[in-house]
Amino acid sequence: MDTAVKYKMISKIISSNDEGVLNSVKSILKIEDEPDFWDELSMNDRAAIDEGLNQLNKGQSVSHESVREDIKNRFNF
């Protein structure tokens, strides 16, 4: 098959919003849905990540360099 035709097919797939067409292509190509890692996390893990993101959004963070310096001083490295 001509490469140009393949690119046209890819372009049509990318621009398509037709779930039926996209599911058919997925089925033909035997593409399996991969589970989203978020769905596999425990509620405690999700809450901890959300809390960390909220802290980052509020500017409540510590730089990598300051953590390295703290560890260096604390453990005499």
Q: Is 69 inside any structural domain? A: yes
Number of domains in the chain: 1
The confidence score (pLDDT) of residue 46 equals 97
* 20 occurs within a structural domain: no
| 43 assigned to some structural domain | yes
Range of the domain at 63: 37-74
Looking at residue 76, what is its pLDDT?
86
pTM > 0.85: no
In a domain, 41, yes or no: yes
Q: How far is CA 54 from the centre of its chain?
A: 18
The model's pLDDT over 34-67, given as tens digits with 9 standing for 90+, comes to 889 999 999 999 999 999 999 999 999 999 999 9
31 within domain boundaries: no
Tell which phi-psi region holds residue 63, choosing left (phi > 0), alpha (psi between -120 and 50) or beta.
beta
- Answer whether 16's CB lies under 8 Å from 22's CB: yes
Are 55 and 61 in contact by the 8 Å Cβ rule? The answer is yes
Distance CA 13, CA 25 (A): 8
Asked if the structure places residue 3 within a domain, the reply is no
